[in-house]
Structure 1
């Protein structure tokens, strides 16, 4: 074991060196490093810039259409949390699979190559050959279209209001606006159907008209037969049947009207009514939403500079490590002395002083 303290004290009472933290990197060293590694940094920036330009050339541009809807609740509003829950529920309806399926069926998006991701896909073709997926059918094509549709559609609440902004991404700006307007139309139609009568209005009118006609016909037949009847046992039995039929038809008509009024009153008392309307219609976007050239080029330049600096620092560390390895202290095999390398250049007027003060450090055993 080396007794370094005794060795330093035996050298003309010279105290051991004090270990101090290395000073921070100065501005002059930074400038020197940049000048020394400017070529590496420049080449790295050019490389990342070239990759970014290649990406911008090959990337498919995407256009985003925007529209705004207002979801106005006619029910008595509660606290802010209740209002937020109501609006978020309506956003969930806008992004639901039922709305997506209705729009896809209306515009025929299942046959559109942009949405039918399962058609012509090399990966899916290989997976089918290997038996990893089922053969493509009309139902699976519709499912692919719905999944692609849901990824492109987004909706968010604007602040703490009842306004909701919906967006849709597509390669075609006109197609994006058309689809988004169809989504708003389907949602408003859904709310109108839900906020109106519980039954279809045409069906209700037809049903009421049919029951009323049946009741009138039965009552008319009963009255005519009773007026022209003969005093026989058969005629009395027929009159009873016609009277029962007329009464049954009238009761069916009255019961149907009573049921509709009761269901309508129950619905108005239990469920809030929403009046959704389109505030801003979707128009074809004029600019590409992604990729954005300025952001891509800026990120590539910053990444190139950082990568170039990292490569330059790594090269400096590797070069410094090789120099340090070549100047390590050597242990003399004759008398166990450690020979320390002197400076690379020594002035002539200091050579005698250095030779007088420099003494070998001996190895002494501890204990």
Structure 2
């Protein structure tokens, strides 16, 4: 007796064979239709591509190229929780992009007098009278708006690196501005982390000089021992000397306390410049290759659209001509009555002849 394995006979009524569905096949007629469409509208497509390329070339000639300089900063975090690293870096990015840094760079490099930054009012606004008069404050605000629009900063992945970039018409100017931004940011971070040593030294010298002068005046008064130097005068000089000495000691104590506090609870932001900005060799925009590719693709799409519209117009016109035959040559065709139609007269004569023959027989 022949036995069959159940695993081999998997095609059953409950489990039928999968239905074979062939994929879409392009017929020869469709290919010929596409080729015919291309042949009919080749001239229109070429004209559209030529026009698009002409516009692209004109755009590349007129538009002023923009150069983008880039630099990298690193923010070393000391004693900061790993979960707060992202917040710390984003905070530093906000400081880099702050108006304080921007105004410092604008003032240092004189960007308010640079035509690239000062001419923020459009030509249309000036012609219509919408533009306001140029003032020193207004020029600084326009320079700040242009600076913020051209400057960008972002974090490079999950790292402590911050990439800063600046766009300008002059590649050397872009690198100069970016290096100035990095310098101002680093110097401000150092000023916030440490006391101003120059001011501390100057103030300490002033208090020390005052204390020494008061002490010397007291000693001179005691050494003279003249009747004019009463006890009241000596007491005043002693009080002044003691006050000056206390002021100097308190200041030194405050400085030492602040230095110890900063060493213990310093935020730990040690910003440094990893890669300085160099003048870019190529323009970042516009990109000629991309503009040409977009122009060619746009010209092809425009030519195809014009060809489709032309075919649609021809189809509508043909259908109207079929619905109104003879309208082009000025003739108006009307249907004749049944009595005047030739085929109707022929059928009537045949019927009459057959009746007469039957009657004679």
Name the TM-score, length of structure 1 as normaliser.
0.76
2:49 counterpart residue number: 45
Say which of 142, 145, 148 aligns to 1:147: 145
1:325 and 2:323 are equivalent in the alignment = no
Shift of 1:280: 0.8
Gaps of 5+ in 2: 1-25, 326-333, 338-361
SS in 2 for 1:283: coil
2:90 counterpart residue number: 88
Say which of 225, 228, 242 aligns to 1:247: 242
Q: How many residues align?
A: 303
Verify the 8 A CA contact 1:117 1:148 in the aligned structure 2: no
SS in 1 for 2:282: coil
2:10 counterpart residue number: none
1:34 counterpart residue number: 38
Say which of 262, 277, 280 aligns to 2:272: 277
Task: Describe the superposition over 1:288-331 as per-residue Cα deviations: whole angstroms up to 9, x where unpaired.
Answer: 1111100000000001111111111111112112222333599x
2:105 counterpart residue number: 103
Q: Give distance in 2, aligned partners of 1:126 and 1:304.
A: 35
Task: Describe the superposition over 1:56-83 as per-residue Cα deviations: whole angstroms up to 9, x where unpaired.
Answer: 111111111111111112233331xx21
1:221 counterpart residue number: 217
1:74 and 2:91 are equivalent in the alignment = no
2:177 counterpart residue number: 179
1:299 and 2:294 are equivalent in the alignment = yes
SS in 1 for 2:81: coil
Shift of 1:277: 0.8
Q: Give distance in 2, aligned partners of 1:315 and 1:257.
A: 92
Deviates more, 1:33-42 or 1:262-271: 262-271
1:58 counterpart residue number: 62
Verify the 8 A CA contact 2:194 2:262 in the aligned structure 1: no
Say which of 280, 301, 305 aligns to 1:310: 305
Q: CA RMSD for the aligned pairs?
A: 2.6
Name the TM-score, length of structure 2 as normaliser.
0.77
Gaps of 5+ in 1: 1-22, 336-367
1:6 counterpart residue number: none
Q: Give distance in 2, aligned partners of 1:138 and 1:313.
A: 58
SS in 1 for 2:82: coil
Shift of 1:262: 3.4
Verify the 8 A CA contact 1:118 1:124 in the aligned structure 2: no
